[in-house]
Structure 1
């Protein structure tokens, strides 16, 4: 079984794609949470060769602070991981920064926050709802958001 991490660097954060077995995945999840990162998407799938089952794998897309890249590399090595770097365009960098700004702002709020108080494009908020990072409700004709409650 192997683990693979791919970085897309931005100014303050790295977009990371993790692929590997689920065996020690909880350690990576804990690292990302402790580092102040977020998991955007998680997919679990099985690898087969013909009719024979080989292994289960997890693929995760997440954002971590750049200052924690070395620690992430060490964590990946400890769980027999691999790290590769990729380039990101300006649009991707801006999206990462915006997601983290919204996430940080809502993490400090104990309740629902109106869309106009967040101060970002409603399209980004809609994308974050689709990624299941945020919950949304309409109250008195105004959309309100909060961080998604983990199920």
Structure 2
């Protein structure tokens, strides 16, 4: 299993119930991590509903990974690391750089001041990590 330790972050997946999930979200945010994707789904056996579950892909500082695992266990969930290739690592590093750049300035930042490869800003808008607006001929971004 490869973690993003090269950049002092780990890419992990949380799976568990939605009850008290806000505690995990708060922990990730307070630790300086980032939730990249969140999916909610229902588990059924035949025609019978069993439970709702949440599956979340997030980036967390490697130093906080064990505490994240403890938090997940406490709210009846689990954390698993992901095996990722070098291209994914580079893409995530770029995403974190853009996120950190936008976190420096709470207001709108012109797109030409953000160093990002083609399509990354659009992907981040689609993932609802950032928002975009047009001001005349200029496109600006900020964190949601």
Q: Same fold (TM over 0.5)?
A: yes
Structure-2 change in CA distance of 1:89 and 1:62 (3 Å): same
Is the CA contact 1:115–1:122 (under 8 Å) kept in the aligned structure 2?
no
Task: Report what 1:90 is aligned to.
Answer: 86
The count of residues paired between Structure 1 and Structure 2 equals 142
Task: Report what 1:31 is aligned to.
Answer: 27
Task: Report what 2:129 is aligned to.
Answer: 133
Structure-2 change in CA distance of 1:8 and 1:40 (3 Å): farther
Is the CA contact 1:13–1:97 (under 8 Å) kept in the aligned structure 2?
no
Task: Report what 2:3 is aligned to.
Answer: 9
Q: Among residues 108, 117, 142, which one is paired with 1:112 in the alignment?
A: 108
1: CA distance, partners of 2:34 / 2:53? 20
Task: Report what 1:73 is aligned to.
Answer: 69
Q: Please provide the CA RMSD for this pair.
A: 1.7
Is the CA contact 2:16–2:78 (under 8 Å) kept in the aligned structure 1?
no
Greater shift in the superposed pair: 10-19 or 45-54: 10-19
Q: Secondary structure at the match of 1:16?
A: strand
Task: Report what 2:117 is aligned to.
Answer: 121
Stretches of structure 1 lacking an aligned partner (at least 5 in a row) = 1-6
Confirm whether residue 63 of structure 1 aligns to residue 59 of structure 2.
Answer: yes
Is the CA contact 1:15–1:64 (under 8 Å) kept in the aligned structure 2?
yes
Query: Structure 1 length as normaliser, TM-score?
Result: 0.85
Query: Structure 2 length as normaliser, TM-score?
Result: 0.89
